């Protein structure tokens, strides 16, 4: 039996992979939720070799609430402290969204409504257990709507607000909620993009786990993004609307 | 998926390439039509493909299967040897042969047939039992019984196809600590004698700035894996910027080397280290290659037959006289070769010396190359960026066999790299 079980939603994402390896290294039980079952089972073998007590692939599609039941069942069966980390999200180019506005729905389903609905379904289980941590991945892009990716930013802003409310609710029963706001991280999602203060996925994963262990509420990673975003948030709208940051 | 244009280099940072680099996460995403590289711990141009496309295999690093009874481990090619050592040593197993950096990938270790500090155990390739090669014709598993294609693949610079996974026979690992004994070697003769010890792991650090009677002085480290408690690993540090050219000037290096030598008491000393600190001493200093500044550096490494040790001594004289030696110079024994066509290890002494990328290094490297060839030795392609194709082809007696097999496996030259073109290995 393991002391902790982690449900990893969006387990094959570039940020989730190193995070699950850290958890495996400390002997956690893992539930790996995602769309590509073949990749998830390869990942499960790898994580078991790396020390996970168990690693169970579960089919999950943020856009198909019919798939959420499997996660709820896995949560119910979890041994030790139940925890969840939600890494799902998608970031189409803003120009692609401008050309095909139907992409707005998918972006918001992947980054906001899908994960929010799942966490709302999971919340009572956490309340019953009265312990555990939920990690949600927002983004610095959610702190201000920028010309470059404001649909993705809007979805992440919504998710951050949702997490803030969820923290308010679950904190009353001893469950912790951590909002992570990463800057750009070198993952397949950001492949080939040139961005400032690019972080490595390994370092980001370490930051996230450390913040979860310390019960931090909001984590900017890298840290430099906290002062940067504080300044960007403080710029008055009449000026900001003329800027391209 | 072609990947965005990137500029990248080998570990020495003296040569760069610019071209599209793909970063597949699954074997399905690997384009079989271009050369692959791992963590680019080769120093020169072996992992480079300037103006053309390449595949970064490092995200393909999953463990596929492990049998705790036999110690057979199947992994994807991007798995690093450091990771495998960390994961399996506590379970009683380790990669049988590891090079001086744990960032080396399994695919890279096969392509270079790397060696370690345990020369009696042979090269990395001697402990590989199966390799999966991906070419436009599909996936194919080869084993040591596959004949020429195996011999052309192990140590074969990735020219027979993209290595996507491999099965390794791990070696029993009796503990997670290394009992290390360091002794001063006062001169060349003593150094060679001490390297002949029967310790399972042995390596000599040489003060490449020493001249005259002190030439060849250094520290010999013997290691033996034991059960024990090791100090907690120190956090990794990163060299954030390129060091100024001054950092490794001859006076600094000389002072550093003298201090490094004097650090070990005359009578020697023993201590217990983690396996990683012993096997991968510099891995905790991330990007230490930046210490050599913007211009980068070269490493010269050759092996010469046992009875030609004096040639290495003459090389050290030339290096010291040129004033380009860095703190990093290593002397080791190598065991008998394994017959793979382009594999570096052969019975003899191997010397590796770092040299900053300076104008006077090129003629010096030419001279060392000539001396290596005349001594019946060879240059290690994982380190090389300066040698001439004609001498390399002459140093590797099975080059023609390798070329035959590579031409069969890759008739269109899809996997040619900057090194292959520079050394005209395939023309």
> Using one digit for the tens of pLDDT, what is the confidence trace for A217-240?
999 999 999 999 999 999 999 999
Per the structure block, which two tokens stand in for B297? 């550096």
Q: Which of residues 122-161 of B touch A (CB under 8 A)?
A: none
How many structural domains comprise chain B? 1
Chain A residues interacting with chain B (CB cutoff of 8 angstroms): 12, 39, 42-43, 45-46, 49-51, 188, 191-193
> Using one digit for the tens of pLDDT, what is the confidence trace for B21-48?
999 999 999 999 999 999 999 999 999 9
Which residue does chain B place closest to A201, by CA atoms? B59
Say which residue the tokens 């394994």 belong to: B338
B315 inside domain: yes
Contact B64 A42 (CB under 8 A): yes
- Say if residue A245's pLDDT is above 90: no
Distance CA B94, CA B82 (A): 10
> Using one digit for the tens of pLDDT, what is the confidence trace for A105-141?
999 999 999 999 999 999 999 999 999 999 999 999 9
- Say if residue A55's pLDDT is above 80: yes
Domain that holds residue A200: 4-240
How many structural domains comprise chain A? 1
- The whole-number average pLDDT for the span A43-71 is 97
Contact A46 B64 (CB under 8 A): yes
Query: What is the distance of C-alpha A244 from the center of its chain?
Result: 27
Which residue does chain A place closest to B62, by CA atoms? A46
A126 inside domain: yes
> Using one digit for the tens of pLDDT, what is the confidence trace for B150-193?
999 999 999 999 999 999 999 999 999 999 999 999 999 999 99
Domain that holds residue B291: 177-388
The H or E element that residue B73 is part of is strand B72-76
Distance CA B239, CA B242 (A): 8
> Using one digit for the tens of pLDDT, what is the confidence trace for B122-142?
999 999 999 999 999 999 999
Virtual torsion, Cα B37, B41, B47, B48, nearest 10 deg: 120
B374 inside domain: yes
Q: Which of residues 30-89 of B touch A (CB under 8 A)?
A: 62-66, 87
Q: Long-range contact list for B230-235, CB < 8 A, 24+ apart?
A: B230/B176, B230/B177, B230/B272, B230/B273, B230/B274, B231/B272, B231/B273, B231/B274, B233/B274, B233/B276, B233/B277, B233/B284, B234/B284, B235/B284
pLDDT band of residue B252 (cuts 50, 70, 90) is confident
- Say if residue B246's pLDDT is above 70: no
> Using one digit for the tens of pLDDT, what is the confidence trace for A159-218?
999 999 999 999 999 999 999 999 989 877 677 677 788 898 999 999 999 999 999 999
A245 inside domain: no
The per-residue pLDDT for A1 is 58
B298 inside domain: yes
CATH assignment at residue A235:
3.40.50.720
The ipTM assigned to this model is 0.89
The H or E element that residue B392 is part of is helix B389-395
> Using one digit for the tens of pLDDT, what is the confidence trace for B46-70?
999 999 999 999 999 999 999 999 9
CATH assignment at residue B297:
3.40.462.10
Nearest to B11 by CA among B282, B376, B193, B305: B282
A53 inside domain: yes
Contact A39 B66 (CB under 8 A): no
Shortest distance between the Cα of A129 and any Cα of chain B, in A, equals 33
Average pLDDT score over chain B: 94
């Amino acid at each position: 039996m393991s002391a902790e079980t982690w449900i990893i939603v969006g387990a094959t994402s570039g940020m989730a992979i190193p995070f699950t390896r850290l958890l495996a290294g400390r002997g956690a039980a893992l539930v790996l939720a995602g769309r590509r079952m073949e990749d998830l089972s390869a990942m499960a073998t790898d994580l078991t070799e790396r020390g996970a007590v168990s690693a169970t692939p579960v089919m999950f599609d943020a856009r198909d609430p019919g798939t959420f039941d499997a996660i709820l069942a896995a949560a119910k069966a979890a041994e030790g402290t139940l925890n969840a980390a939600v890494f799902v999200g998608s970031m189409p180019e803003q120009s692609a969204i401008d050309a095909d506005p139907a992409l707005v729905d998918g972006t918001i389903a992947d980054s906001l409504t899908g994960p929010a609905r799942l966490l709302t379904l999971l919340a009572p289980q956490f309340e019953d257990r009265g312990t555990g941590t939920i990690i949600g991945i927002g983004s610095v892009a959610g702190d201000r709507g920028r010309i470059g990716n404001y649909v993705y930013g809007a979805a992440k802003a919504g998710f951050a607000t949702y997490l803030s409310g969820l923290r308010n609710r679950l904190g009353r029963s001893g469950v912790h909620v951590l909002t992570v706001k990463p800057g750009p991280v070198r993952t397949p999602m950001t492949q080939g993009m040139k961005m400032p203060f690019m972080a490595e996925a390994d370092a980001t994963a370490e930051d996230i786990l450390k913040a979860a262990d310390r019960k931090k509420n909001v984590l900017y990673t890298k840290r430099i993004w906290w002062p940067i975003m504080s300044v960007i948030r403080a710029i008055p709208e009449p000026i900001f609307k003329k800027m391209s940051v | 998926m072609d990947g965005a244009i990137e500029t990248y280099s080998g570990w020495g940072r003296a040569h760069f390439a610019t071209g599209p680099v793909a970063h597949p996460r699954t074997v399905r995403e690997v384009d079989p039509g271009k050369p692959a590289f791992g963590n680019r711990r080769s120093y020169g141009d072996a992992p480079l493909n300037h103006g053309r496309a390449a595949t970064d295999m490092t995200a393909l690093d999953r463990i596929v299967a492990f049998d705790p009874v036999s110690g057979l481990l199947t992994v994807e090619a991007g798995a690093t040897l450091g990771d495998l050592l960390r994961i399996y040593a506590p379970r009683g197993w380790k990669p049988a042969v590891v090079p001086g950096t744990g960032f080396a990938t399994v695919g890279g270790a096969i392509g270079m047939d790397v060696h370690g500090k345990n020369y009696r155990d042979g090269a990395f390739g001697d402990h590989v039992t199966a390799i999966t090669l991906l070419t436009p014709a599909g996936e194919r598993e080869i084993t040591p019984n596959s004949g020429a294609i195996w011999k052309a693949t192990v140590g074969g610079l990735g020219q027979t196809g993209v290595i996507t996974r491999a099965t390794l026979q791990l070696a029993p690992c009796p503990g997670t600590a290394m009992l290390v004994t360091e002794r001063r070697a006062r001169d060349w003769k003593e150094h060679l004698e001490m390297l002949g010890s029967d310790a399972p792991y042995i390596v000599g650090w040489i003060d490449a700035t020493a001249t005259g009677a002190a030439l060849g002085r250094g520290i010999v480290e013997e290691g033996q894996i034991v059960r024990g408690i090791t100090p907690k690993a120190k956090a990794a540090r990163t060299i954030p910027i390129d060091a100024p050219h001054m950092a490794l000037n001859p006076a600094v290096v000389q002072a550093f080397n003298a201090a490094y030598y004097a650090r070990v008491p005359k009578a020697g000393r023993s201590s217990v280290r983690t396996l990683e600190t012993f096997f991968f001493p510099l891995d905790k200093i991330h990007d230490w290659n930046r210490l050599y500044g913007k211009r980068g550096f070269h490493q010269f490494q050759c092996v010469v037959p046992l009875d030609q040790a004096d040639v290495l001594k003459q090389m050290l004289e030339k290096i010291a006289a040129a004033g380009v030696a860095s703190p990093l110079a290593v002397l080791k024994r190598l065991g008998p070769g394994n017959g793979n066509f382009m594999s570096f290890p052969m019975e003899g002494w191997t010397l590796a010396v770092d040299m900053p990328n300076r104008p006077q290094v090129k003629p010096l490297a030419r001279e060392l190359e000539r001396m290596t060839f005349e001594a019946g030795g060879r240059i290690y392609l994982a380190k090389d960026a300066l040698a001439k194709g004609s001498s390399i082809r002459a140093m590797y007696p099975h080059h023609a066999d390798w070329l035959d097999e590579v031409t069969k496996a890759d008739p269109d030259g899809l996997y040619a790299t900057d090194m292959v073109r520079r050394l005209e290995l395939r023309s």
